[in-house]
Copies of this chain bind each other. A is one copy, B any other.
Amino acid sequence: MPSHGRYTGPGKGREDRVRKPTISDLAKAAGVSVTTVSHAFSGRRHVDPQTRERIQRLADQLGYHPSSMARALRSGRSGVIALASSMPFAVAAGPSRLGFLMEIAASAAMSALTRDLALCLIPPHPSAQSYGAASFDGVMLVEPMRDDPLVRHFEQRKTPIVSIGTVPGRPDIPAVDLRSRETADLLLDHLADQGCRQVAALIGASPRTSQIESAEAYGAFAARHAMRPRLILLDEEDAEATAYSQVLDLLRSDGAIEGIFASIDAFATGAIRAAHEAGRAIPGSLRLVTRYDGLRAKLSHPPLTAVDLHLPAVAEKAVGLLLDQIDGCKQAEKADLPELVVRASSQGTEK
């Protein structure tokens, strides 16, 4: 039984605030009907330029702004889209790994604004049922998991969905493909190019497309190079710490490892610490690459070879796709091309 969110009544203390002028106040002041005012603003019908001018002037004078709530009700669109993620907020309520999500958020906010939309950030609700009082015209999910409760939630609510990164098992949901398979191939091939014969992979255990495809890519890579696979599935909470201890074990038990592919940047940071601890120089005796080229990869020592996922472009496409989804019905699925950024962590010659 869903709680529909308690309604708290009309704002207490509303009477003591000055009432904002409404369209009929303006109409009265201008000596015309509300219809005329509406048309003067929307331009959907012609109004006498002189009248229109007077209305405009009065509007400025009175400080009139059309109520977007009324407009939303009438038009059925709130002008707000949401960005939701089931994971990163939760693991990073603190400042740890906001990078990926927040880079998307910032870009999406700008893309949204240029289309006269606002972007809402919605963290995963602890008791994931009533998502606030606001209503969204659509929602963008970032890297949802298989059977993600968020997907169910918004589907049931008939809110248009666009996923950033495909939804595992749900090819019907429109998505911006993050090209995780290609990304992983890029990174693994790079390691091979750098001469790594034995490569381990640190991959997130959650059933997200990026992790699934990374694992697949790694499997194929191992087969292609007739290499014994060392696939380490890691929990994404407390990523750096668990990566650290697992990699330390690995390096100590298996001296042959020459390269590590970390599908999450925090894994890579953990791996660096482990390598240091195990006395393996990077990139001297161990090469390391990661997927997301965020602040972490850039500021790491040594800087991490990573992939430019073109997140601003991804966000832009997601917003566009969502908009299509909302009022058109274009099911068109779009894609994007990742790009390798080589840095010291994997190069033969130190910068």
Within 8 A of B (CB), among A122-148: 122-123, 125, 130-135
Q: Which of B63, B118, B121 contacts A106 (CB 8 A)?
A: B121
With a CB–CB cut-off of 8 A, which chain B residues contact A312? Answer: 93-94
Q: Do the beta carbons of B113 and A71 come within 8 Å of each other?
A: no
Q: Do the beta carbons of A69 and B66 come within 8 Å of each other?
A: no
Q: Do the beta carbons of A326 and B79 come within 8 Å of each other?
A: no
Q: Do the beta carbons of B102 and A12 come within 8 Å of each other?
A: no
Asked whether A219 is an interface residue with its Cβ less than 8 Å from the other chain, the reply is no
With a CB–CB cut-off of 8 A, which chain B residues contact A60? Answer: 1-2
Q: Do the beta carbons of A121 and B119 come within 8 Å of each other?
A: yes
Asked whether A166 is an interface residue with its Cβ less than 8 Å from the other chain, the reply is no
With a CB–CB cut-off of 8 A, which chain B residues contact A74? Answer: 10
* Known A95-B311, A122-B109: A75·B43 in contact at CB below 8 Å: no
CA A76 to CA B9, docked complex, whole Å? 10
The interface bits of chain A over 60-79 (1 if a CB of B lies within 8 angstroms of the residue's CB, else 0) are 10010111111111111111
CA A132 to CA B55, docked complex, whole Å? 22
* Known A295-B299, A312-B94, A327-B11: A79·B1 in contact at CB below 8 Å: no
Q: Which of B16, B80, B89, B133 contacts A120 (CB 8 A)?
A: B80
Q: Which of B1, B6, B12, B79 contacts A133 (CB 8 A)?
A: B79
The interface bits of chain A over 38-55 (1 if a CB of B lies within 8 angstroms of the residue's CB, else 0) are 000111100000000000
CA A299 to CA B96, docked complex, whole Å? 11
Q: Do the beta carbons of B78 and A11 come within 8 Å of each other?
A: no
CA A327 to CA B122, docked complex, whole Å? 23
CA A66 to CA B156, docked complex, whole Å? 14
Q: Do the beta carbons of B158 and A20 come within 8 Å of each other?
A: yes
Return A34 CB to nearest CB of chain B, in Å. 14
Asked whether A110 is an interface residue with its Cβ less than 8 Å from the other chain, the reply is yes
Q: How large is the interface on A (under 10, 10 to 19, 20 to 34, 35 or more residues)?
A: 35 or more
CA A132 to CA B82, docked complex, whole Å? 14
Return A268 CB to nearest CB of chain B, in Å. 12
Q: Do the beta carbons of B103 and A98 come within 8 Å of each other?
A: yes
* Known A18-B158, A78-B69, A113-B132: A105·B121 in contact at CB below 8 Å: yes
Most buried by B among A44, A65, A70: A65
Return A310 CB to nearest CB of chain B, in Å. 11
Q: Do the beta carbons of A295 and B133 come within 8 Å of each other?
A: no
Asked whether A329 is an interface residue with its Cβ less than 8 Å from the other chain, the reply is yes
Asked whether A5 is an interface residue with its Cβ less than 8 Å from the other chain, the reply is yes
Asked whether A13 is an interface residue with its Cβ less than 8 Å from the other chain, the reply is yes
New A-B contacts (4) at CB < 8 Å, excluding given A69-B78, A102-B102, A119-B122: A10-B75, A79-B133, A94-B312, A110-B123
State the A residues within 8 Å of B (CB): 1-2, 4-14, 16-18, 20, 41-44, 56, 59-60, 63, 65-80, 82, 89, 92-95, 98-99, 102-103, 105-107, 109-110, 112-113, 116-123, 125, 130-135, 156-158, 269, 294-296, 299-301, 311-312, 326-329
